[in-house]
Structure 1
């Protein structure tokens, strides 16, 4: 592996010398009252691209396993991660002609190749856009079109879906296909991904990406509306990796210890990609991938790999606490559990710790796609103050304030006053892709408006109480009502529609549709639900039901009053209607 050390000797020197005072720097004396900040000192952020930041670890841990499939045992070392990512980078530019700034779509579940793809694409000076592998061709087509993607990387099993998406796009995009088994045959017209990954070619590497170049374009609905591309730069990613490193979720690898971290959180989501993948690699730890959560597979990983760190969402924490399949001995190696994407109640924390039967660090974090992953966390607080039910305090290099809803001045509110949570820091996105007006509305004097309702107490600990956002959270996935409403309005005899999230015993929330039929017609609820199944991913299905109504409540400007529908739904539950 002397090849690796030679190639990256320059990058390592650059890393050592490029630490600089971050552009975002806290001067406490200049802060107005009631602005919250971290208890830890700011960290310097190196002027490196994301691959450069990760590849530095590859030279240090080149013989250790970086990522392994929890189902098949297929694995790559840190040396492989570097060498094969670079091979992919060169083939994308030489054989496919991709140019700096081109977008490549990743349509993959969690597999060992996922980090290789992300780093290889980014090392080529290209931009990653991530897609949920359960998306329908229509959903994929919309993102391909909006992002102007130039190619797709997917599995043999998803080839047909990717191909159908291209037909809807009326474009013939190159599709690289990953074979996860030797027996799989390459679909006609597909490009063999592993030929790119494993074949060295003589082609010059591009200059490293600049910190403010785009690195990844995940899609989020923000506060309202249809999914929008979130422009995250290399600086955003590297900054958030530096910020989360200070939280000590994962230990640095030593000659005698390597943390093992399962990756079941989807890597197409910023939490799974940045925290559960890239952060783990910066520590030299081992990732064990699972393409989806099933009780049997997850427990098998616990038994076989004996992980030290679990990045989870609340439904999986509840599963581990309550399912008879999970035995106390399956959790004896676990040192820390990090829960995100939705609140985890204090009683749920207690039940998990009781199941483990010993002290385990339970950490809750708060973040969003527009802030690269992490903005607030409870780590390092539990010995000082009671943080049960709290999201904690801001991460390093991050400022947070709570302001009165619709207050144009952005004046920070005081202790126990409820308002909208605003965030400022180097991890906050550049803006929404091709959405200048939405980008403008997302910020208030340089502060990002999260759309979440919060307050903080006398200990400067933050609590989320509600959200301005109308996103429906289904098992940690975000479902934008506007997207489903658009689908429903295309169904025969539908005049108007509104969708809200309602409580669901298994999914947290589930979409519920309110439908206004065209005059003199009727809408069959069962047929509508079947129609939505053909147009949207499984977690977007109308499992909260369909209600036929005479009208949809709206403001004078025509905005749907989903809050009114929620209140009506809750009132009907109370009265038994």
Structure 2
């Protein structure tokens, strides 16, 4: 056991003893301002992700595990296990990949996603996921930084993926239509998963070994690899499976819960919660590669889902779009929102639209925490009056505290006082890949700094108020200002640049650029927007606009004062 986990274990024991739990909605003990879940800890096995998931899937062998909401392509739980293991053997024998090698996964939500990721992990390799709308430059950057040895993608994404590789690189392609053929130079995915290779399965990697390498910008800076171990992911699945946080019904011969998967599976929320956690419950997943109102409503009507994992823009769509009828929501028991805060009024609008008792729940997490940190249980929602719009309480085995900004001592604040949220738990990342300084800056005496501003009330229920971090959240995606600023400064006649997030009616936020032209020159803002558009994914585009300014506000150390720009924007757009 690592030193960090030893400290965590002692802290949890002390915390458990310091709380009295006769009722759910109790007042926080005055002896401590460190918050725990108020629930029993869960057992976390010391095992690999595929070992853990496969052990849960075995009893659902003949049930449909995952189906494409567009084509109807589907796999049973038994096929997920067998085909994942076939892929595992092929990656080691045919591609010669070794323990700890990184495999890049460039996929939208397709039924093959769990086969791919579990197969890679079962081969003792590391998965790094990429957004399928990334440009060639963005793909190249992550492939290089992660030292990926192979890539798995769709046939349609092969041209962009292959162009991003600056050296011979094995690319495995998945066909989504019968008319498609494997591109020249690519490897056919079906040949790898449909054929059994006579090869002994490897001894699983250790619980503390890195398994998943998503990319996040953290609180500042460019995207960096978040090293999540087998233990981190298995811990978060186990925490979400706590019997005190139930919302999924047991799968039986008579009933199987159905869940649409519209949240990106390459994102930590989609990977851990929407895929790995859900597969351990024997539910049926229905995938949609992208959100369109027509496709989403069609899934609601044809598959009659019981649980919706959503983000705030989808909640607003369900509550307000005339295409969504009350009867479309009849089978829904639970709507669980994450990735960004959802206001109490927006919660209530969806409940009113459904016209029945839909449990509207919220949770909070980060890529660096695998992701879940807090959640609202159905029981908490029913027994406490003031939890609407809240992110709930810590999940089991997790401690959080709220501290004043720039308080190096990390002294926890009391109720109803806003500060930065800090987290400690078995789901907290190992470190950033090859970024020791950024890793050190993200932790304070073993506590992960989230960069999010929160407070908790007298019932220990947490509310997000603002973000200390500089990230821009576009429909739940993270956009790093530094990445856009770097691109903008490379445009002709640009001397300096700053990017902030501004409110956007459909995206939540949108990047807005402030540009300082070089002396005696002009910058064509329309051409600049087109230039950026060619280099980044659609959600990173400058849909918040471009403004020419004389200077960028900076502090004494040269750091951009984004808050100053945001205040100026708010004043001029009242």
Deviation digits for residues 187-210 of structure 1, max 9, x if unmatched? 110000110010101011110121
Aligned counterparts of 2:447 and 2:381: Cα–Cα separation in 1: 28
Residues 360-375 of structure 1: matches in 2 within 5 Å? 360-375=358-373
Q: CA deviation at 1:42?
A: 0.4
User: How high is the TM-score relative to the length of structure 1?
Assistant: 0.94
Match of 2:210 in 1: 214
Aligned counterparts of 1:239 and 1:233: Cα–Cα separation in 2: 10
Are 1:22 and 1:44, in contact at CA under 8 Å, matched by a contact in 2? no
Aligned counterparts of 1:127 and 1:433: Cα–Cα separation in 2: 12
Match of 1:13 in 2: none
- Cα-Cα RMSD: 1.2
Are 1:121 and 1:127, in contact at CA under 8 Å, matched by a contact in 2? yes
Aligned counterparts of 2:226 and 2:567: Cα–Cα separation in 1: 31
Residues 176-325 of structure 1: matches in 2 within 5 Å? 176-246=172-242, 247-325=245-323
Match of 2:102 in 1: 103
Q: CA deviation at 1:57?
A: 2.4
Aligned counterparts of 1:445 and 1:58: Cα–Cα separation in 2: 39
Q: CA deviation at 1:256?
A: 1.8
Match of 1:152 in 2: 151
Q: CA deviation at 1:255?
A: 2.5
Aligned counterparts of 1:25 and 1:98: Cα–Cα separation in 2: 40
Aligned counterparts of 1:284 and 1:465: Cα–Cα separation in 2: 36
Matched, 1:543 2:543: yes
Are the structure 2 counterparts of residues 329 and 315 from structure 1 closer, same or farther at C-alpha, using a change threshold of 3 Å? same
Aligned counterparts of 2:182 and 2:298: Cα–Cα separation in 1: 30
Q: CA deviation at 1:24?
A: 7.5
Are 1:401 and 1:412, in contact at CA under 8 Å, matched by a contact in 2? yes
Can you give the 5+ residue segments of structure 1 that lack an aligned partner in the other structure?
1-20
Match of 2:92 in 1: 93
Are 2:347 and 2:389, in contact at CA under 8 Å, matched by a contact in 1? no
Are 1:49 and 1:209, in contact at CA under 8 Å, matched by a contact in 2? yes
Q: CA deviation at 1:25?
A: 3.9
Are 1:310 and 1:334, in contact at CA under 8 Å, matched by a contact in 2? yes
Q: Which secondary structure state, in structure 1, belongs to the residue aligned with residue 382 of structure 2?
A: coil
Q: CA deviation at 1:27?
A: 2.7
Q: CA deviation at 1:320?
A: 0.7
Are 2:12 and 2:399, in contact at CA under 8 Å, matched by a contact in 1? no
Residues 116-515 of structure 1: matches in 2 within 5 Å? 116-166=115-165, 170-246=166-242, 247-379=245-377, 380-385=379-384, 386-515=386-515
Match of 2:556 in 1: 556
Q: Which secondary structure state, in structure 1, belongs to the residue aligned with residue 89 of structure 2?
A: helix
Deviation digits for residues 347-371 of structure 1, max 9, x if unmatched? 1111111111100111000001000
Q: CA deviation at 1:431?
A: 0.6
Aligned counterparts of 2:383 and 2:79: Cα–Cα separation in 1: 43
Aligned counterparts of 2:42 and 2:369: Cα–Cα separation in 1: 17
Match of 1:4 in 2: none
Matched, 1:568 2:564: no
Q: CA deviation at 1:58?
A: 2.6
Deviation digits for residues 87-126 of structure 1, max 9, x if unmatched? 0000000000100000000000000000110100000000
Aligned counterparts of 1:99 and 1:214: Cα–Cα separation in 2: 14
Q: Which secondary structure state, in structure 1, belongs to the residue aligned with residue 348 of structure 2?
A: helix
Q: CA deviation at 1:239?
A: 0.3
Are the structure 2 counterparts of residues 471 and 127 from structure 1 closer, same or farther at C-alpha, using a change threshold of 3 Å? same
Aligned length: 551
Q: Which secondary structure state, in structure 2, belongs to the residue aligned with residue 417 of structure 1?
A: coil
Q: CA deviation at 1:402?
A: 0.3
Aligned counterparts of 1:497 and 1:250: Cα–Cα separation in 2: 48
Can you give the 5+ residue segments of structure 2 that lack an aligned partner in the other structure?
1-7, 20-30
Q: CA deviation at 1:506?
A: 1.2
Aligned counterparts of 1:389 and 1:202: Cα–Cα separation in 2: 54
Are 1:85 and 1:117, in contact at CA under 8 Å, matched by a contact in 2? yes
Are 1:26 and 1:397, in contact at CA under 8 Å, matched by a contact in 2? no
Deviation digits for residues 501-539 of structure 1, max 9, x if unmatched? 001111111100001111111100000000001000011
Q: Which secondary structure state, in structure 1, belongs to the residue aligned with residue 39 of structure 2?
A: coil
Aligned counterparts of 1:426 and 1:308: Cα–Cα separation in 2: 30
2:14 corresponds to which of 13, 20, 27: 27
Q: Which secondary structure state, in structure 2, belongs to the residue aligned with residue 150 of structure 1?
A: strand
Match of 2:22 in 1: none
Q: CA deviation at 1:22?
A: 7.0
Relative contact order higher in (CA < 8 Å, ≥ 6 apart):
2
User: How high is the TM-score relative to the length of structure 2?
Assistant: 0.95
Aligned counterparts of 1:257 and 1:310: Cα–Cα separation in 2: 17
